Amino acid sequence: MRYLPLVGAALFRRPTRTILTLLSVLVAYLLFGLLYAVQLAFQSGADTADARRLLTTARYSIIDLLPISYLGPIERVPGVVSVAHAEWFGAKYQNESNAFPVFAVDPLRYLDMYPEFVVPPAARERFAATRTGALAGRRLADRYHWVVGQRLPISSEIHPKVDGSLAWEFDLVGTLDAEDPAVQGNTDLVLINVAYFDEARLLGRGRTGWYIERIAEPAQAKTVSAEIDRLFANSPDETRTQPEKEFAVGFAKQIGDMGALVTRILAAVFFTILLLTGNTMAQSVREGIPELAILKTLGFSDRTVAALVLAEALCLLLFGALLGLAGATALLPGVNRSTGGRFPPLFVSGATWLYGAVIAVALAFAVGLPPALRVARLRIVDALAGHR
């Protein structure tokens, strides 16, 4: 601690240079915070997956439907605790296709399957009791200024009603939300009551999109999945059952390797930072050599002098990282408000801070170690004489 003033003096020998370097580290970390949040959002499906949930879809394509009559047999499979199902409604709202997902579900079965969703008990009861009822994610309701109790006109691109019309109307009975921001993205949807939907639609009655099973033991996932699929093997509607996480990972892979893209961009960013601060450090040490030589003359050991140089680099990078990530944390709520449920919520997580710190320390050693070693080896006589 008592060496702090010395580090400070070195950093502020040329304030402009230090501040500019600090600012570029800050910007790099701001970008890191934002991009890492985007990457987390892309893998949030896998991160928030419950190891006790399985997903059953049609075997040959996830857009094919399954008979609703599969519910009973799946429930009776040993190891299955409860079953829910859902179907894709194909919503078109205010003339925008797929403005948000709408699922036709059995209200209580579905809400029980996702205990991480926060639904007020009164809303839950109303949803179960109202045939034309709908629950909307809170972020969606905020974005469209919906109020509980209003009629919700949503068209379907896929499902005509019995009269041939594609225009549907539901009663908004409540909202659903989640406490964990990573789960919140999963609540950007509207749930409707399948009892009403199935009766009012013209085609596809008696079928549903997918089943969700809760199992007693995560370790049983493989055997229970295999057992469910065996039940319907060689039927016209074969199934594919997999743990929720596997499904989420597979679906994310459909989009492509988002992680690799972000990693490459960040590598370019940090490489530039490395060069920039490396150059600053080299300059700073070059100019500070007479002073460092004096310190050595005063009895500072080689190691202490080298540590001072390294501390200078650490200060620059850690402080820049701190400011950058704090900036990202401050910026993201605004970004989330403006995307309002179109995109999962972005946030700076604990993991982001940890990675940021690790990268900062690694960069500090990369840029600080060469000049530190040089200073440690410096001969006082040469340095004072101006031979570098």
Partner 1 sequence: MAPLRTLRQVVAVTALNLRNVPHRPGASLVVVVGIAGVVGVLVAVLAMSTGFRHTLASTGRANRVIMLRSGSDSELSSGLARDQATLLVGLPAIARDGDGRPLASSELMVMVDLPRRGQTEPNNVPFRGVQPSAFAVRDEVTLVEGRRFERGVREVVVGRKAARQFAGLDVGSRIAFRDSDWSVVGIFSSGGDVHESEIWADAEVAMSAFRRTGFQSVTATLAGDPDGALPTLERLVAADRRLSISVLREPAYYAKQAKILSTLIDVLGYTVATFMAVGAMFGALNCMYSAIAARQVEIATLRALGFGGLPVVVSVMIEAFGLALLGGAAGGVLAYLYCDGASLSTLNFSTFSQVAFDFRVTPALLGQGLVWALGIGAIGGLPPAIRAARLPVTAALRTS
Residues of this chain that interact with partner 1 (CB under 8 A) are 16-17, 20-21, 23-24, 27-28, 30-31, 34-35, 38, 59-63, 90, 92, 97-98, 155, 157-158, 164, 166, 236, 249-250, 253-256, 265, 268-269, 271-273, 275-276, 279-280, 282-283
| Nearest-approach distance from CB 110 to partner 1, in angstroms | 22
Query: Strand 133-137 to strand 102-105: parallel, antiparallel, or no bridges (unpaired)?
Result: unpaired
Q: Do 197 and 149 contact (CB within 8 A), yes or no?
A: no
Q: Which residues, including other chains, have CB under 8 Å from residue 84's CB and lie 6 or more apart?
A: 105, 106, 109, 110, 112, 113, 211, 212
| Nearest-approach distance from CB 33 to partner 1, in angstroms | 10
Q: Which is nearer to partner 1, 12 or 271 (CB)?
A: 271
| Nearest-approach distance from CB 167 to partner 1, in angstroms | 9
| Nearest-approach distance from CB 377 to partner 1, in angstroms | 20
User: What amino acid is encoded at 92 in this protein?
Assistant: K
Q: Which is nearer to partner 1, 59 or 109 (CB)?
A: 59
Q: Which is nearer to partner 1, 13 or 109 (CB)?
A: 13
Q: Which is nearer to partner 1, 109 or 161 (CB)?
A: 161
Between CA 165 and CA 337, with CA 136 as vertex, the angle to 5 degrees is: 120
Nearest to 114 by CA among 86, 90, 140: 86
Q: Which is nearer to partner 1, 129 or 268 (CB)?
A: 268
Distance CA 262, CA 37 (A): 10
Distance CA 354, CA 358 (A): 6
Q: Is the dihedral of CA 55, 58, 63, 64 positive or negative?
A: negative
Q: Do 89 and 104 contact (CB within 8 A), yes or no?
A: yes
Q: Which is nearer to partner 1, 130 or 186 (CB)?
A: 186
| Nearest-approach distance from CB 274 to partner 1, in angstroms | 10
Q: Do 173 and 126 contact (CB within 8 A), yes or no?
A: yes
| Nearest-approach distance from CB 236 to partner 1, in angstroms | 7
87's tokens: 């179907």
| Nearest-approach distance from CB 199 to partner 1, in angstroms | 20
Q: Which is nearer to partner 1, 220 or 339 (CB)?
A: 339
